[in-house]
Amino acid sequence: MAAKNGREFPKIDAKGKAEFKVYFPKAKSVVLEGGDGMQNVKSTATKDQNGFWNISTSPLEIGFHYYWLNVDGKRTNDPNTELYFGYGQPTSGIEIYSGEDFFFKKDVKHGKIINDSLYSEITEGKRNIKVYLPPSYGTKKFPVLYLYHGTGEDITGWEKQGYLANILDNLFAEKKAEEMIVVMDYGVALNPEEEKMPDDYPRTVLSSQNIDKIIVNELIPYIQKKYKTNDDKAVAGLSRGSYQAMLIGANHPELFSAIGSFSPVIYEGTELQPFKHLPIGNLLKSKKKPFLFLGIGTKEDKRFLDYNNILTSYFDQNKYPYVQYKSAGTYHEWLTWRRCLYEFAQKIFR
C-alpha cells in the first residue's frame, strides 16, 4: 500500500477499488490522474461540507501505479502517501498487491545498499550511484550487475519502488541465485553543453552513448578498484534503461556475460533500419554470446509489445538464443520490472 503510517486513506477494497480522501477546501475541481496502469481507471470525486474531497475508483489492476491529483488544473501529490521519484519529480504511488511475496522483507540475511559517487570526465561532473552489497560481502569476490532505471526516474527507483534488496536477499536465502553486487547507475549522462539540447530522442541516444563510455572507461574501473569483485559482469535495465543495457551489451559482448532488457525500447529506428542506433548485430558475431533476457508485461502499451516483437523476430531469424519472459497481467510499471529482475537474477552468473 501507499498510505503513510497512521493514515486511513488511500484504501483499497477486496475488488481493487480505491478510495482517496484529501483536504482541498478551496478547490473547485479535483481529478485523479496517473501513470500507465491508471489509464483505464474511472473515478468520481465529491466535496463534503468540511472541505474534504472523496474520490472513488473502478477496480485498479495489480501492480505499482504512480498517481497524482489535478487540483484546479495543477498537478498535486496526495498528502497521505509516500512519494517516489517518477515522472521527473516526487510523485504519489499506490500498490495493488498481486498476492506475491517475493519482494517482501523476510526473516533472512540482508545485504545493504550504500550511496557512492564518482567524478566523470565525460559529463564533467559528479555522478551518484547506489551499490547493493550481498549478505556474504567480505568473504570473497562477487560478480557485478550494472542496472539502469527508466525515463523520469532516478537511482532511487530500483531501491524504493523496485524492492531490489528484498528480492535479492530472498533469492540468495533460498539458494535460487548466485550472490552478486548490483550497481545502480543514473540513466542520464550529458555534459553542460549537451544539457542544452532539446529533450528528445536524439538527446536520449547521445546520453545513452555517453553512458556506454562511462560504464566501460570510468564506472567499471571505479567499482573494480573499490569493491571486492570478480571478472563476471552483467548489464540490465528497464524501459529507457533496457535500451541502454542492450546498447552497452551489444557494444561490448566480450565484457558482459548477460544482458537483461525489461520492457524493451528501441530509439531512433526506422522501418528499414530498426536498429540504426543499436548495434545488436554485434551479438551475432561475438565469440562469447552473452545470455539475453527479454521481459515484458502482457498489458503494456502496443509500442512496447512491438519493440519486443521486433527484437524476438530478429533473434529468431538469426538463431540467437534468448529467454522471453512475460509478466502476466501487468503494465509498464514496477511489478513487471520486479518480476523481470527476479527471473533474470536466477539465470545469470551460473
pTM assigned to the model:
0.96
Q: Is the pLDDT of residue 230 over 80?
A: yes
pLDDT band at 243 (very low <50, low <70, confident <90, very high): very high
**Cβ atoms of 132 and 184 closer than 8 Å:** yes
pLDDT band at 44 (very low <50, low <70, confident <90, very high): very high
pLDDT band at 63 (very low <50, low <70, confident <90, very high): very high
Contacts of 170 (CB under 8 A, 6+ apart): 102, 103, 104, 106, 108
**Cβ atoms of 257 and 234 closer than 8 Å:** yes
Q: Report the alpha-carbon distance of residue 80 to residue 68 in Å, rounded.
A: 11
Q: Report the alpha-carbon distance of residue 62 to residue 298 in Å, rounded.
A: 12
Q: Report the alpha-carbon distance of residue 97 to residue 18 in Å, rounded.
A: 12
